């Protein structure tokens, strides 16, 4: 069975979460299958292995799950991109729009060595607002957005167009809806 088919079988749709009209893609059943998780990490790492990635900037919270494993597989630093108020040290903040509201993310001001090529990773691409905000933080800290990595792309929400148009960088995902 193809990896994409295995992933799709393990995802769970949760209607009306976090608010009415949203269908949440729950990946926790996937996390119960270590062999599939390993295949996902290897597939993502294989795609990005020749791009000179120097760090992974992964977005809280579900982006941490595979972002950390991807950083380990590529043997590069892991940079947490967190929701506002979660980081203990000096930080930069970036606001952005969600498909169902507004939010802010933060990074420690010393998280990136200037000039680093940083891959932005999250579990899901929707409108692209969160990934774009992470890209803006990386640029503000002197890094270069090397590309974007996702498990899922909800293509009907336009995030891929936003990121490809703005960054002109590699954008990779395993599943497209």
User: What's CA 35's distance to the chain center, in Å?
Assistant: 21
- Asked about 99 being catalytic, the answer comes back as yes
| Per-residue model confidence as pLDDT tens digits over 33-62 | 999 999 999 999 999 999 999 999 999 999
In angstroms, rounded to a whole number, what is the distance separating the alpha carbons of residues 25 and 115?
35
Half-sphere exposure (Cβ direction) of 106: Cα atoms closer than 13 Å: 13
In angstroms, rounded to a whole number, what is the distance separating the alpha carbons of residues 142 and 104?
20
pLDDT for the residue 120:
98
DSSP 127: S
* Residue 99 pLDDT level (bands cut at 50, 70, 90): low
Q: Are 156 and 177 in contact (CB under 8 A)?
A: yes
The verdict on pTM exceeding 0.85 is yes
| Per-residue model confidence as pLDDT tens digits over 17-26 | 988 988 999 9
Say if residue 101's pLDDT is above 80. Answer: no
Q: Are 174 and 4 in contact (CB under 8 A)?
A: yes
Average pLDDT over residues 165-173: 96
Domains, the chain, ordered by start: 50-176 (3.40.50.2020)
Say if residue 106's pLDDT is above 70. Answer: yes
Q: Are 59 and 38 in contact (CB under 8 A)?
A: no
In angstroms, rounded to a whole number, what is the distance separating the alpha carbons of residues 74 and 128?
24
Q: Are 38 and 3 in contact (CB under 8 A)?
A: no
Say if residue 171's pLDDT is above 70. Answer: yes
Tokens of 118: 């940083």
pLDDT for the residue 10:
97
pLDDT for the residue 64:
98
ω into 61 cis (within 30 of 0): yes
Say if residue 170's pLDDT is above 80. Answer: yes
In angstroms, rounded to a whole number, what is the distance separating the alpha carbons of residues 148 and 138?
12
pLDDT for the residue 145:
98
| Per-residue model confidence as pLDDT tens digits over 109-167 | 999 999 999 999 999 999 999 999 999 999 999 999 999 999 999 999 999 999 999 99
**Which of 32, 38, 60, 62 is labelled catalytic?**
62
Say if residue 100's pLDDT is above 70. Answer: no
**Which of 38, 73, 99, 140 is labelled catalytic?**
99
Whole-angstrom Cα Rg for the chain: 15
């Amino acid at each position: 069975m193809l990896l994409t088919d295995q992933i799709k079988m393990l995802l769970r749709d949760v209607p009306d979460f976090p608010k009415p009209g949203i269908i949440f893609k729950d990946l926790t059943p996937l996390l119960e299958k270590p062999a599939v998780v390993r295949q996902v990490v290897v597939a993502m790492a294989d795609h990005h292995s020749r791009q000179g990635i120097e760090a992974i900037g992964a977005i809280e919270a579900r982006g941490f799950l595979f972002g950390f494993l991807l950083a380990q597989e590529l043997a590069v630093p892991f940079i947490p991109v967190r929701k506002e108020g979660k980081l203990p040290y000096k930080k930069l903040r970036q606001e952005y729009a969600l498909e169902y509201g507004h939010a802010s993310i933060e990074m420690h001001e010393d998280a990136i060595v200037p000039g680093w090529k940083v891959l932005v990773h999250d579990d899901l691409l929707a409108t692209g607002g969160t990934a774009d905000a992470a890209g803006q933080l990386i640029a503000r800290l002197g890094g270069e957005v090397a590309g974007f990595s996702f498990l899922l792309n909800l293509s009907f929400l336009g995030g891929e167009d936003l990121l490809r148009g703005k960054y002109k960088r590699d954008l990779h995902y395993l599943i497209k809806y």
